[in-house]
């Protein structure tokens, strides 16, 4: 059986693959996943067919996937430019490319163990936003304190005004 769902990938690698697919889509690169997880039986079949050279694949560890292209391209285009564009995107996402590693296996991609640069920037932005929220929350707490102090001061001044009016009225009599 051929598994194509990225949901079968290891969770941190799945996040990298999601970012990779999102960028390819935004760049209008028409790729699709042809295989993610691969069991031992499937790996043996591929070896027998001459489509794989290794006994144990990273697909079995859920940290690899293969792609192909949709139209206007052929499934596996000869165009180096489009492949290089895909490889560059993958590498920015913390994903190695079989072809750049070994000089063969163009459609193979695997986790390189590094953080996704793009995801890291995204996480940095989230951390900055969370810090700003925390700072704003502190500012609102300070505002509430000042507001309460102001309300107390206004009450004190109003009470003083009332006392002064009473004193003034008593002096007029």
DSSP string, 36-81: ----HHHHHHHHHTTS---SS-TTTTT-EEEEEE-TTS-SS-S-HH
Residue 82: Cβ within 10 Å count: 15
Distances from the Cα of 58 to the Cα of 34, 136, 156, angstroms: 15, 46, 74
Give the model's pLDDT for residue 126: 53
Question: Is residue 150 included in any domain, yes or no?
Answer: no
In which domain, by residue range, is 110 found? 6-114
Question: Is residue 37 included in any domain, yes or no?
Answer: yes
Given a contact cutoff of 8 angstroms between Cβ atoms, the answer to whether 60 and 40 are in contact is yes
Give the model's pLDDT for residue 116: 58
Give the model's pLDDT for residue 120: 47
Question: Is residue 94 included in any domain, yes or no?
Answer: yes
Q: Can you give the CATH number for the domain in which 93 is found? A: 3.30.1380.10
How far apart CA 71 and CA 85 sit, in angstroms, is 17
Question: Is residue 149 included in any domain, yes or no?
Answer: no
Question: Is residue 20 included in any domain, yes or no?
Answer: yes
Which residue is listed with tokens 């859920």?
Answer: 62
Question: Is residue 103 included in any domain, yes or no?
Answer: yes
Q: Would you give the end-to-end CA distance of the chain in angstroms?
A: 104
Which residue is listed with tokens 């072809």?
Answer: 99
Question: Is residue 80 included in any domain, yes or no?
Answer: yes
Count of structural domains, the chain: 1
Please list the pLDDT of the chain residue by residue as tens digits (173 residues).
Answer: 899 999 999 999 999 999 999 999 999 999 999 999 999 999 999 999 998 888 889 999 999 999 999 998 999 999 899 999 999 999 999 999 999 999 889 999 999 876 656 554 555 555 566 666 666 667 677 777 777 777 777 777 778 778 877 777 777 76
- Quote the pTM value: 0.66
The helix/strand/coil state of 111 is: strand
Question: Is residue 54 included in any domain, yes or no?
Answer: yes
Alpha-helical runs (H) found in 93-116 = 98-102
The residues that bridge with 31 in the sheet, in sequence order, are 69
How far apart CA 146 and CA 153 sit, in angstroms, is 10
């Amino acid at each position: 059986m051929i598994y194509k769902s990225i949901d079968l990938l290891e969770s941190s690698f799945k996040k990298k693959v999601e970012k990779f697919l999102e960028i390819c889509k935004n760049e209008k690169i028409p790729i699709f996943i042809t295989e993610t997880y691969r069991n031992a039986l499937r790996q043996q079949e591929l070896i027998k067919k001459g489509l794989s050279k290794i006994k144990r694949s990273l697909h079995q560890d859920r940290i690899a996937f293969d792609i192909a292209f949709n139209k206007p391209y052929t499934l596996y285009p000869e165009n180096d430019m489009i492949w290089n564009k895909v490889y560059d995107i993958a590498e920015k996402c913390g994903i190695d490319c079989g072809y750049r590693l070994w000089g063969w296996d163009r459609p193979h991609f695997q986790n390189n163990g590094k953080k996704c640069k793009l995801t890291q920037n995204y996480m940095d932005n989230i951390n900055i936003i969370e810090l700003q929220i925390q700072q704003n929350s502190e500012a609102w707490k300070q505002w509430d304190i000042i507001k309460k102090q102001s309300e107390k001061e206004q009450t004190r001044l109003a009470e003083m005004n009332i006392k002064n009016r009473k004193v003034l009225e008593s002096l007029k009599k």
